């Protein structure tokens, strides 16, 4: 029995089974790119559709996004959620070949893939002032990618952090995920 348990645990470890999901309603473009079959164009289409039409309720809602069809939905169905926390990275089955490819790319100086970029993102520490934070600081907030960070900077100054929703820069669900981590201090002027 002990040997069987050891074999099962070893198999699970080599498969890299992870219990995580990307919340398509709060994920940044970069987080969405970590999903199978989702590249930069589809990720941006999902973000844009979500910004215009509000949160997705199910996999079927994703079929309304231009470029996302049945094949893509089938590929990501086990890796996405529509509520709850966003892990930031889709579950990824790892094997030695994937690690070898990553090591080879690093030795050649090749750029990182979406999983590696998302894994390297650091969460901002403390509270972020939306009136003075850099785009880099803003895009590290959950659900705020490069495009939203640029929009936040562009629409400054803010009287209150609620203006991010009022000005349609963040969806309500994304705002709910960051509202306790942001402030809108008035800059003397």
Instruction: Dump pLDDT digits (tens) for 13-31.
Output: 444 434 457 888 888 888 8
Question: Does domain 128-183 sit in CATH 2.30.29?
Answer: no
**What pLDDT does residue 58 have?**
86
**What pLDDT does residue 34 have?**
81
CA angle 143, 32, 76 (to 5 degrees): 135
Assigned CATH for 1-121? 1.10.150.280
Residue whose structure tokens are 């030795």: 107
Percent of the chain with pLDDT over 70: 66
Residue 85 binned pLDDT confidence (cut-offs 50, 70, 90): low
Positions of CATH 1.10.150.280 in the chain = 1-121
Distance CA 185, CA 53 (A): 30
Per-residue pLDDT, averaged over 29-57, amounts to: 88
Residue 186 binned pLDDT confidence (cut-offs 50, 70, 90): confident
């Amino acid at each position: 029995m002990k040997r069987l348990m050891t074999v099962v645990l070893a198999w699970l470890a080599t498969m890299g089974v992870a219990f995580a999901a990307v919340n398509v309603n709060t994920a940044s473009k970069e987080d969405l790119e970590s999903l199978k079959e989702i590249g930069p164009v589809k990720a941006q289409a999902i973000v844009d559709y979500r910004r215009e039409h509000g949160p997705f309720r199910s996999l079927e809602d994703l079929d309304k996004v231009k470029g996302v069809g049945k094949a893509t939905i089938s590929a990501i169905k086990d890796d996405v959620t529509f509520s709850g926390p966003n892990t930031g990275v889709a579950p990824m089955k790892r094997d030695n070949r994937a690690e070898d490819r990553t090591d080879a790319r690093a030795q050649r100086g090749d750029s990182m893939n979406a999983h590696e970029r998302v894994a390297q993102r650091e969460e901002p520490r403390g509270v972020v002032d939306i009136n003075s934070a850099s785009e880099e600081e803003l895009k590290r907030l959950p659900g705020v990618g490069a495009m939203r960070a640029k929009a936040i900077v562009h629409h400054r100054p803010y009287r209150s952090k609620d203006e991010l929703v009022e000005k349609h820069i963040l969806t309500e669900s994304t705002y709910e995920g960051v509202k306790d981590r942001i402030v809108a201090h008035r800059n003397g002027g």
